[in-house]
Structure 1
Amino acid sequence: MDIRDNPQKQRFEALLADGAVAVAEYRLSPGKIIFTHTEVPPEHEGEGIASALIRFALDSARARELEVVPLCPFVAAYMKKHAEVRDLLAPEWRFKLGFA
């Protein structure tokens, strides 16, 4: 699996061996990355692809010093489960997710 940022389409992409693509869509605003949607092809659900994709996307956000706004429920759930990435949350989202 090859994961990359596709800034032209505003999404992170996981290119799968069978040619399918999983995506984590985002929008950028000053100092923030807003994750709006994550989708894995149905035939690949349960393989850990979405988690790998979001881990890559959050590493990218950290490297770019961007705060994360997890509008996508999967990204929010991932960040709730993984304490090591909670510092990336935009302040208002720390409160919304119960980490204020």
Structure 2
Amino acid sequence: MKYEEIALTDNNEQHSFELWVEGKRSFIDYKRKGDTLYLLHTEVPKELEGKGIAAALVEKTLRHLEEHQLKLVPLCAYVQSYLKRHSEWNRLVEKKED
């Protein structure tokens, strides 16, 4: 199943990016400080796991961040593993100040 046609929702009230698939909510929780988003946790309903939804959700979130000139701090283990597999997105990762 392809998820390109499903719009990413930025739910400001719940501080999460959402993807609604088959009437169910998959999401990435975040915390925002200025122009940096801390991606905290990714969750897909059990019955939808293994269908590529989490990967689509992360990619759509990264596109959204880039379009809005935002940086990210990947605190979520799934987002970290996604960035290892798709290193081109590391350009969005907030650089640590020494």
**5 Å matches for 1:61-80?**
61-80=65-84
Alpha-carbon distance between aligned partners in 1 of 2:93 and 2:14, rounded to the nearest angstrom: 23
The one-character-per-residue Cα deviations of 1:39-94 (angstroms, maximum 9, x if unpaired) are 000111110000000101111111111111000000111111102201111113xx
Query: Secondary structure, in 3 states, of the residue corresponding to 2:72?
Result: strand
Q: Which has the higher helix share?
A: 1
Normalised by the length of structure 2, the TM-score is 0.87
Root-mean-square deviation over aligned CA pairs = 1.1
Show structure 2 runs of 5+ residues with no match: none
- Would you identify which runs of 4 or more consecutive aligned residues in structure 1 move more than 2 Å? none
Identity value in percent: 34
Corresponding position of 2:14 = 9
Which amino acid is the alignment partner of residue 16 of structure 2?
Answer: R
Q: How many residues align?
A: 91
2:63 maps to amino acid: D
